[in-house]
Amino acid sequence: MARLIRTEKEVEGHYTEQWIVVDEDALDQWPAGPLQTVGKPAPRVDGRERARGEATYTADIQLPGMLHAAVLRSPHARARVRSLSLSSVLAAPGVRAVLEPGDSHVLTDEPGYHGAAVAAVAADTFAQARAALAQAAVEWEVLEPLLDPDQAVEKGSLVSEPNVSERGATERGVSEAEAVVEAEYRTQTVLHNSLETHQAVCVWESGRLDVYISTQFLWGVRATVAEQLELPPDKVRVVCNFMGGGFGSKNGPGEYTFIAAELARRTGRPVRCALTRREENLATGNRNSTIQRLTAGARSDGTLTVLKGDYVNSVGFEGWSPSTGGPMELLYACENVRVAEHGAKLNTPPNAAFRAPGFVEGTFGLECLMDELAARLDLDPLELRMRNYADSDLVDGRPFSSKNLLECYRRAQPHWARREEVRARSQGPWKHGMGLASQVWYGGGGPPSYAWVRVGSDGRVQVVTAMQDIGTGSRTAMAQIAAEELGLSLDRIEVSLGDTSRGPFASISAGSSTIPSMGPAVRSAAADAARQIVEIAAQRYHLEERVLSLRNGHIVSADGGSWPIEEITELLGEGQILGKGARGPNPTGMRTLTFGVQLAEVAVDIETGEVLVDRIVAIHDVGRVINPLGASSQVEGGIIQGIGHTLSEDRLLDPGTGTVLTQTLDAYKLPTIADVPEIVAEFVDRPDEHLTNLGSKGLGEPPIIPTSAAIANAIRDATGANVRSLPITREEMLRALRAAREREGLERTAETVGEVRSA
């Protein structure tokens, strides 16, 4: 039965309260551990198409008569367009239409960041469009940009009210502490750099708009485009069959979709608006940089008495202030916690969600701080974390729907025991060490989400839902879930997704929510279909439904009878069995989170500042694992992004003009295969008994969260240097080493003075 409830919905750590209609979820969870298909490694059901180069991405869509758009972007971080003439652009070869500020809400004549869209053109080829743009006559009034985040906070230039939350009494916490550590941490701006750039192809036909787009949320694009263009949502069709990466930056339609739609409307032709790599690194979002001024206090036994965090998020010209203080609030059983987050509005490109926005940055600060505290207290870092283990959510006292972080710590111990052995590898300038960091994040998903399951007379099954597979392997996981419920082998399941006109509403693929939101809906639809097969079989074989079940492609009865499933489906002829499923509600009054711990082994060349990551062990608790092969691949992918974030990636600006300097992939340094360490991925793999019919949480984001702190802590272990700023480039490493030497020198001098005095 459909039920109307008022509930909290969480996406990327944002909670909103809303009315929601949910369907009951009456299915019992499957037993824990690997089943017939679920819980066993499954190669991609679409691996073949992708490996053959046949998968059709948005970038590969070719439509008859399609035009290509190019976008004129502001070369200035803050400016006004004094005058703009596009007449020569319009006269250039191949040009069919131009747009200027006023023609679309995504174009502006007062750009607030380098790369803001100002005008656009559609031409027969992209080269023509680009060449035509060079003819634009723009007179700029260049204004002084605001680039310093601390200055922005001081002046009150914020994207939203500061987010301050406090529990307990932090002043008391400080006074009760026997050791207090204060430190300032900084993280840099990181660019998503999905390999497929942001792009859309738009086509109008009889008042209906088709949008082919590289996106993480078909229905979000549909809703936003419909609202903006004042169309009934059913007049907008959104298609994305294969998608070349997003990492949070492709949750909405972006300016390019509206540019393509308007140009397509004006020309009556399909229009592609595809960003170049340079544009990608200007105007599609970023993980914003942060400044984190943190305090931790503890008793000598390690019991935390206080945690304080003052965070400045350099959000950019628009965007939202991510929850950088979230890990500090959620990770430890500390009674006195205060976090204050400021979202600085600057003349820099707007941020966008990037794989655990806020928590990646905040975990770097918090987990480095914990290690600095452990050093101060002369405590083992793992011991310190276990001593402050949180059994319930201290933010509002809710129990966790499940939490197995202690089990993660337990499994970490044999790896952590290698520490002495790792340190002993140090030789000459190369110092080895080991560090760890914990992870907390959301990832419970939620309703609404729907799926249909269609069984044909040949006994083959089609899962139909208008979700998207952003590359994470959703197609495969959904096929596994349907196969498990129907007792069929994976090769008999087809998953049809990627088109809002061909399936029911499905959730966003962001916030680690795809599996926990969509998986239960698919299982519920498969169960509905299975129930109907059993009903028909019961009539056909004159048995009671309750003695029949589906297993290994057969209908089996409790007394040992077994019939191939086709015996029943054949009876359908042209008919089909249609199963319908929906995502049930989240457990009420509970907090659903994901947890984990990562351990890093590093080597540091103290003469050249080179840091090599040798090994990372990742142990995560995300409930039931559907596909261990896909899951370990997610972990490895998160870790290598984390390594890039830690060591080499940095979007650099010119400090005077706010120009983005690192637009290409030689300047913005993504890790290559040569940077990959040995990675060990483990999962606790215990279903969350309170969460849906699957007990699965999401895994997209957790693995990137603790990586940078684990590496920084390993560096501290290896060298004694406190690295507090990302990325840990050679200059940062050498700076931290120099500071450590100076500190040690001072301590030695102090010791010598002490010795002299005592003598």
DSSP assignments along 76-88, one per residue: SSSEEEEEEE-HH
User: Quick check: 664 binds other proteins (CB under 8 A)?
Assistant: yes
Cis peptide before 727 (omega within 30 of 0): yes
CB of 283 to other proteins, least distance (A): 15
User: Interface with other proteins by CB under 8 A: which range of 141-149, 151-159, 665-673, 711-719?
Assistant: 665-673
CB-based contact 684:207 (threshold 8 Å): no
Give the rounded distance of the alpha carbon of 696 from its chain centre: 17
Binding to other proteins in span 564-603, by CB under 8 A: none
**Beta-carbon contacts of residue 616 (< 8 Å; ≥ 6 apart):** 598, 599, 600, 601, 639, 677, 678, 679, 680, 707, 710
Residue 642 class from Cβ within 10 Å (0-12 exposed, 13-18 middle, 19+ buried)? buried
Our CB check for other proteins shows the closer of 191 and 298 to be: 191
Interface residue with other proteins among 44, 78, 237, 419 (CB under 8 A) is 44
CB-based contact 505:498 (threshold 8 Å): no
CB-based contact 552:492 (threshold 8 Å): no
User: Quick check: 41 binds other proteins (CB under 8 A)?
Assistant: yes
CB of 273 to other proteins, least distance (A): 15
CB of 574 to other proteins, least distance (A): 30
CB-based contact 657:738 (threshold 8 Å): no
User: Per-residue x/- marks for other proteins, 461-500, CB under 8 A?
Assistant: ---------xxxx---------------------------
CB of 473 to other proteins, least distance (A): 7
CB of 212 to other proteins, least distance (A): 14
Our CB check for other proteins shows the closer of 673 and 756 to be: 673
Which neighbouring-strand residues pair with 683? 620
Our CB check for other proteins shows the closer of 65 and 429 to be: 429
Binding to other proteins in span 299-338, by CB under 8 A: none
Binding to other proteins in span 707-746, by CB under 8 A: 729-731, 734-735
Our CB check for other proteins shows the closer of 42 and 451 to be: 42
Separation CA 353–CA 364 (nearest Å): 17
Interface residue with other proteins among 633, 686, 739, 741 (CB under 8 A) is 633
Distances (CA, A) of 477 to 90, 730, 741, 752: 49, 41, 52, 64
Our CB check for other proteins shows the closer of 272 and 492 to be: 272
Separation CA 656–CA 145 (nearest Å): 8
Binding to other proteins in span 254-293, by CB under 8 A: 276-277
Q: Are strands 678-683 and 610-621 parallel, antiparallel or unpaired?
A: parallel
Distances (CA, A) of 193 to 248, 286, 602: 11, 9, 26
CB-based contact 634:697 (threshold 8 Å): no
CB-based contact 481:467 (threshold 8 Å): no
According to DSSP, residue 392 is labeled B
User: Per-residue x/- marks for other proteins, 110-149, CB under 8 A?
Assistant: -----------------x------x---------------
User: Per-residue x/- marks for other proteins, 643-662, CB under 8 A?
Assistant: ----xx---xxxxx--x-xx
Our CB check for other proteins shows the closer of 104 and 707 to be: 707
Our CB check for other proteins shows the closer of 661 and 746 to be: 661
Angle, helices 730-758/707-719, rounded to nearest 10 degrees? 40
Interface residue with other proteins among 322, 587, 630, 658 (CB under 8 A) is 630
User: Interface with other proteins by CB under 8 A: which range of 189-197, 437-445, 684-692, 713-721?
Assistant: 189-197
Our CB check for other proteins shows the closer of 540 and 738 to be: 738
Element at 477 (helix H, strand E): helix 474-486
Binding to other proteins in span 196-225, by CB under 8 A: 196-197
Our CB check for other proteins shows the closer of 257 and 641 to be: 641
What amino acid is encoded at 133 in this protein?
A: L
Separation CA 465–CA 479 (nearest Å): 12
Interface residue with other proteins among 417, 571, 667, 750 (CB under 8 A) is 667
Interface residue with other proteins among 629, 686, 740, 741 (CB under 8 A) is 629
Interface residue with other proteins among 166, 391, 491, 607 (CB under 8 A) is 607
User: Interface with other proteins by CB under 8 A: which range of 174-182, 187-195, 395-403, 570-578?
Assistant: 187-195
Please give the size of the binding site for other proteins, defined by CB under 8 A: 83
User: Interface with other proteins by CB under 8 A: which range of 398-406, 432-440, 509-517, 629-637?
Assistant: 629-637
CB of 429 to other proteins, least distance (A): 7
Binding to other proteins in span 420-449, by CB under 8 A: 429
Our CB check for other proteins shows the closer of 369 and 643 to be: 643
Residue 595 DSSP SS3: strand
Interface residue with other proteins among 582, 635, 694, 699 (CB under 8 A) is 635
Determine how many CB atoms are found less than 10 A away from the CB of residue 531: 14
Interface residue with other proteins among 671, 695, 702, 706 (CB under 8 A) is 671
Interface residue with other proteins among 350, 357, 609, 706 (CB under 8 A) is 609
Distances (CA, A) of 180 to 312, 367, 608: 22, 15, 33
**Beta-carbon contacts of residue 156 (< 8 Å; ≥ 6 apart):** none
Interface residue with other proteins among 679, 684, 715, 736 (CB under 8 A) is 679
User: Per-residue x/- marks for other proteins, 49-88, CB under 8 A?
Assistant: -xxxxxxxx-xx-x--------------------------
DSSP assignments along 280-347, one per residue: HHHHS--B--EEEEEEEEE-TTS-EEEEEEEEEEEEESS-----TTHHHHHSB--S-EEEEEEEEE-S
Question: Nearest-CA neighbor of 289 among 363, 351, 369?
Answer: 351
Our CB check for other proteins shows the closer of 94 and 101 to be: 94
**Beta-carbon contacts of residue 693 (< 8 Å; ≥ 6 apart):** 25, 27, 28, 29, 520, 523, 524, 584
